[in-house]
Amino acid sequence: MRKYCTARIGVTALLIAGAGTAAASGSAVADPSSGAGPQSSGAAAPEAKASFCGGVAGIYGVSGTRSYKGRNAELWTEKLEDERARAYVEDITVGDRVEIQRSYKKFKMTDKPQHPSTGEVGSYGRCRNTASWHEAYIGDWMATDGVQLQIPGTGRSYAVRTCVFPDEGGKGCTKWFVDHN
């Protein structure tokens, strides 16, 4: 009996360790090109990822939600340092894509969050992740790397939103979000 329990714990530990490894080696990609213009070449993406996407450490809270074609997407913003934002989606299938989109325009922060229109936001960059088999069938969720949210010491914030692109087509996004003081 004891041998069975030990083997069961060992398998569980292996699955948890495997999930962490798979999540850490996700297929996140940066695309800092404008949301309204042509896509950047594939050669620029690794350089862009280093400067535009990255850093996920922090304590996040939900700042926006959207359900679209059975997927539940959330915009996560850091709550203590207020420096980063990232996208999260659950109830996914293989090939679904999630993006965190961030404006290049800086907005003056006020006492309450702002929700500008896409026209007010203008051009934006994005970090994205595409669901692998493991993310879709084992975890049933995925997230992106983080993007910078606030510009420290300036009282300014970028606008961010989460978009989900189901494998069967279409796009659902949260409202644009500008952080507050």
Predicted confidence band at 30 (pLDDT cuts at 50, 70, 90)? low
Residue 152 lies in a domain: yes
Domain range for 150:
27-178
Residue 99 lies in a domain: yes
Residue 170 lies in a domain: yes
Residue 18 lies in a domain: no
Residue 8 lies in a domain: no
- CA dist., res. 159 & res. 165, Å (int): 20
- Under 8 Å between Cβ of 18 and 46: no
- CA dist., res. 175 & res. 162, Å (int): 8
pTM for this one?
A: 0.74
What tens digit of pLDDT does each residue of 44-60 get? 344 344 468 988 888 99
What tens digit of pLDDT does each residue of 102-160 get? 999 999 999 999 999 999 999 999 999 999 999 999 999 999 999 999 988 999 999 99
- CA dist., res. 51 & res. 172, Å (int): 26
Tokens representing 114 are 């702002």
- Under 8 Å between Cβ of 176 and 104: no
